[in-house]
Amino acid sequence: MAPRDEAGDGAGTGPDVPPIRTRQLTKRYGDLTAVDGLDLEIRRGEIFGLLGQNGAGKTTTILMLLGLSEPSAGAARVLGLDPARHALQVKRRVGYLPDAVGFYSDLTGRENLRYTARLNGLSRDEAEQRIDAVLEQVSLVDRADTRADTYSRGMLQRLGVADALVKDPEILILDEPTTAIDPIGVIEILDLLRRLVRERGVTILLSSHLLNQVQSVCDRIGIFAAGRLVGLGSVAELAATFGDGSATIEVIFEGVADPAVADRVESTLRGIPDVATVVRATRSDEPWIVSVADAGVAGDVRERILATSATERLRLSSIRASTRSLDEIYREAVRRAGLADGGPPPSALSSGSESAA
């Protein structure tokens, strides 16, 4: 008989059951509530970003999903299993990269992966095939047979991703996976996550406080603050929820270094119906900012800009809609939740790790 799904209305592990589901999941440490009544569903084959400042409760949530910490109240299901009761089964099917990854320093990268493979019951031949594949995926083939204590922080992080992939998991949980990795390495890791979803159908939960990385790779985002989920959706959905109903269009024109051309561009843009304001570019490679009071007609305005630019023989080289930045969305979501004084927002640039609480 399939286990009853106490975290929702369904049961078992059918295709319609979300790989990760929580209902009123709560964790308290004395008087501190680290996770407060979390209701969350993560869809099969998506990259879901859990975004929040350090100490928001992201790591605590992950530990409960992995069965490494028991909830004070509520319930969670991971692949239909209660992680508090079936932690070993969950760990066999879930790859996990903690924010502070550690390896045996006197072993090579490959030897560390072999150790993980043995712990997961892989045969020798299967382990070697998996190890070769994941080392290639994380670009560590050239350093696979050198000791782990010679690895940089970024290399250790990539080895950590390889370690999480050796068991061929259905779910991959990554806690601050790009900490201390150089920009090129970050791009490689994010590209790898996209490939895992596209080629293997892996479901990925990515916990981070780095706004730009979450925005660039995640299908949906959960905004976490003071242990509470205060926003949920795609960036576009969050912008609609926490925006003011307006939209912005960025347009670049050639030849605007000539004041006469710039004047004609400005006059043309201001004359287009539903355009509220126009901010003039100061350089030829800089976009003109066109504001539309009603985001619902932004698509029509873009089409009118294209058509009118052609009619007026203006050399339009680029046009794109610009949503609210994730930083603005985060701040507004936290403000509406009454948590404006809960600490600084996540960072677009900084790195670091979160405490367990």
- As a whole number of angstroms, the distance between CA 215 and CA 221 comes to 8
- As a whole number of angstroms, the distance between CA 63 and CA 113 comes to 22
The pLDDT, as a whole number, for residue 2 is 40
pLDDT tier for residue 348 given thresholds of 50, 70 and 90:
low
Q: Return the percent helix, strand and coil in the chain, to nearest 5.
A: 35, 25, 40
Question: Does residue 355 surpass a pLDDT of 80?
Answer: no
- As a whole number of angstroms, the distance between CA 94 and CA 112 comes to 18
Question: Does residue 356 surpass a pLDDT of 70?
Answer: no
Topology given in CATH for the domain delimited by 245-322: Alpha-Beta Plaits (3.30.70)
Domain boundaries, the chain: 20-240, 245-322
The pLDDT, as a whole number, for residue 181 is 75
pLDDT in tens, 17-44: 899 999 999 999 999 999 999 999 999 9
The CATH number of domain 20-240 is 3.40.50.300: yes
Pull the structure tokens for residue 237: 């959905």
Question: Does residue 5 surpass a pLDDT of 60?
Answer: no
CB 136, CB 98: distance < 8 Å:
no
CA–CA distance from 55 to each of 26, 58, 113, 181, 345 (Å)? 15, 7, 30, 21, 11
The pLDDT, as a whole number, for residue 342 is 45
Sign of the CA dihedral with 214 first, then 218, 220, and 222 last: negative
Question: Does residue 108 surpass a pLDDT of 90?
Answer: yes
Average pLDDT over residues 269-289: 92
pLDDT in tens, 209-224: 888 888 889 999 999 9
Helix and strand tally (H, E) in the chain? 11, 13
Average pLDDT over residues 62-82: 96
- As a whole number of angstroms, the distance between CA 312 and CA 296 comes to 26
- 245-322: same fold as 20-240? no
